[in-house]
Amino acid sequence: MASDRFFEQLHREFTQAAEQLNTLDAAIGDGDHGTTMLRGLTKAVSAPDAMRAKAFMRASGGASGTLFGLILLGIEAHIDQGAALDAELAKACERICDLGEVEVGDKSMVDALAPAVAAAQAGKPLPQIIAAAAKGRDGTRDLVARRGRAQYVENGGKGHIDPGSVSVVMILEALFSTEETP
């Protein structure tokens, strides 16, 4: 199976959610997270095989384009080359923590990704991996940001869900619906 259907599904999801993600991001960041993700995905869907995650990176730009691109690279390798999902997600998560200088609890995409990695490594099926990520996402509401622009807003953004963690869950959901529908 080629990753084109995954990226098309992702593109549909983010087309619908872009405004909502921008609104979430406006509370604690630049207010452009949805736009940035959609810009990358728009290029990704028209890129050739094995080049979609890279096309996403180039078009979305900035640090967040790179960090989300690492997740998409891993999923692309999983779909196109049969790489193990748990290992790919774990590698992406480790690199995102390293490059972004974030850890669990910092109110970032990692708060959704790390529990997903743990569930995947425990051998759980994709719906349970998604549930773990969603729980982490919801938990970012009570967290205080220690990295990025959110650390400078009132109370470190406490009371607001981190939009990056929302996107992580959406990426995993897109993977699930791609794998479910042959």
* Residue 151 near other proteins by CB under 8 A: no
Shortest distance (Å) from residue 125 CB to other proteins = 27
Measured from the CB atom, the residue of 21 and 73 that comes closer to other proteins is 73
Shortest distance (Å) from residue 130 CB to other proteins = 25
Measured from the CB atom, the residue of 55 and 130 that comes closer to other proteins is 55
CA distance 157 to 159: 6
* Residue 22 contacts residue 15 (beta carbons within 8 Å): no
Q: Which stretch binds other proteins (CB under 8 A): 94-102, 136-144, 158-166, 173-181?
A: 94-102
Residue among 63, 84, 122, 144 that touches other proteins (CB under 8 A): 63
Residue 132 CB neighbours (<10 A): 23
Measured from the CB atom, the residue of 51 and 131 that comes closer to other proteins is 51
Please give the angle made by the CA atoms of 22, 24 and 25, to the nearest 5 degrees: 60
Measured from the CB atom, the residue of 65 and 163 that comes closer to other proteins is 65
Within 64-93, the residues that bind other proteins by CB under 8 A are: 65-67, 69-70, 73
Measured from the CB atom, the residue of 60 and 167 that comes closer to other proteins is 60
Q: Which amino acid is at 136?
A: G
CA distance 22 to 3: 26
Within 39-58, the residues that bind other proteins by CB under 8 A are: 54-55, 57-58
* Residue 70 contacts residue 96 (beta carbons within 8 Å): yes
Residue among 34, 100, 136, 163 that touches other proteins (CB under 8 A): 100
Measured from the CB atom, the residue of 17 and 167 that comes closer to other proteins is 167
Report in angstroms the alpha-carbon separations of 160 from 55, 136, 175.
Answer: 30, 13, 26
Closest by CA to 28, choosing from 166, 173, 132, is: 166
What are φ and ψ of residue 61, in 5° steps? 70, 170
Report residue 49 as tokens. Answer: 């095989």
Applying CB under 8 A, which residues contact other proteins?
A: 54-55, 57-58, 61-63, 65-67, 69-70, 73, 95, 98-100
